[in-house]
Amino acid sequence: MRPLQKISCLLLILVFSTFCIAQSSFPSRAIRIVVPTSPGSGSDTTARFFGEQLAQALGTSVVIDNKPGANGIIAAMAVKQAPADGHTLFLATNTHLAVNPVVVKDLPYDPIKDFKPVSGLARGMMIFVTNPQSKINTVQDLVKSAKDSASGLNVGTYTSGFHLSAEWFASEASAKFVNVPYKGAPEVFMGLLGGQLDWGLSDLIAAMPQVKSGKLKALAVSGISRHSDYPDIPTLKELGYSNYVNYTWTTLYMRIETPDAVSQKLIDTIQKILTTPAAKEFIRSIGSDAMALAPNEMRQFQQAETDRFKKIADGAGIKPQ
């Protein structure tokens, strides 16, 4: 073997050994999953389930750190400023990775340059809800009431993704709605029950317990077809808004500088968890579909979604602010 070949082999052995050592030493302490919404939201529920599974798989504790507000910017910056060692993960959604770059001016983080995917997790429909005592019983009632109102109806949202979705529907329906931002789904529900809001947008995970208990009234969902668990709730598409098909999605991301060995261990662990009966049942139980996209697939999907939201924003006349 030539000297140059020997050096190359030694370097490969060194790199491989370093990779293995990094994998074996991770995690060295508790893992923190930063969630950009308040406890009780769909993202929080998802983070807690996968946090428990991750803790069991890696033999360490996992802490859920809720940092709601500012359209997820507070949470994203907490992850961006944390050490890039894999011990801090970002439970990110379409809002933080694909909507904020479109609607937030001077965004202090870059979804592409600052973070990289661990794995896609799940996608779920959005749901339009209102107070059960409201005279608005259908989407048709909602649109008519909005058009009859001089100032427009108040809609509660808790991320820029829901805000953009509400604006998109306003454009599709040629109706006016006034966005009222909240920190999380529970606050939107309280606003509905307290009469501060005419209707609200939520993920299905958070809203359905309230709908089942009679505390909220469901008007429609945003999927391409009715949800199999809730066949009585119509889709916006079947109600005449054929373009309005929209899903929220949840993922796990990490600092882009996280070492490859650590990244790969996290990727392999989450991908394995997603194949388990427990994960499949959890995703089904919250009314979502599995979205087990590997990192490269997740990155491509993220970019496609960003382009889609940019088109929606341009069509609705929404500018970054």
Q: Give pLDDT tens digits for 47-83.
A: 999 999 999 999 999 999 999 988 899 999 999 999 9
Backbone angles phi, psi at 253, to 5 degrees: -125, 165
Q: CA 158, CA 162: separation in Å to the nearest integer? A: 7
Confidence at residue 71, expressed as pLDDT on a 0 to 100 scale: 85
- Whether residue 189 contacts residue 199, with contact meaning beta carbons closer than 8 Å, is answered with no
Compute the mean pLDDT over every residue in the chain, rounded to the nearest whole number: 91
Structure confidence at residue 237 (pLDDT): 97
Rounded to an integer, what distance in angstroms lies between the CA atom of residue 11 and that of residue 187?
A: 56
pLDDT of residue 319: 87
22-124+248-316 CATH pick, 3.20.140.10, 1.10.645.10, 1.10.10.10, 3.40.190.150: 3.40.190.150
- Residues of the chain with pLDDT > 90: what percent? 78
Quick one: pLDDT at residue 38? 86
Fill in the DSSP letter of residue 235.
B
For residue 112, is pLDDT > 90?
A: yes
What are 80-106's pLDDT values in tens digits? 999 999 999 999 999 999 999 999 999
Instruction: Identify the CA nearest to 58 among candidates 30, 90, 79.
Output: 30
Write out pLDDT tens, residues 137-152: 999 999 999 999 999 9
Residues in Cβ contact with 196 at an 8 Å cutoff, skipping those fewer than 6 apart: 154, 156, 180
pLDDT at site 158: 87
| pLDDT tier for residue 2 given thresholds of 50, 70 and 90 | low
Q: Measured at the alpha carbon of residue 93, what is the angle toward residues 302 and 117, in degrees to the nearest 5?
A: 55
> In which band, very low, low, confident or very high, does the pLDDT at 217 lie, cut at 50, 70 and 90?
very high
Quick check: 18 pLDDT over 50? Answer: no
pLDDT at 183: 83
Higher pLDDT, 161 or 212: 212
| pLDDT at position 20 over 60 | no
The CATH superfamily holding the domain 130-221 is Periplasmic binding protein-like II (3.40.190.10)
Could you tell me the pLDDT band of residue 184, with boundaries at 50, 70 and 90? confident
Looking from the CA of 123 toward its CB, the CA atoms found within 13 Å total: 16
Please state the domain extents for the chain: 22-124+248-316, 130-221
Q: Do domains 22-124+248-316 and 130-221 have the same CATH topology?
A: yes
Are 288 and 94 spatial neighbours (Cβ–Cβ below 8 Å)? no
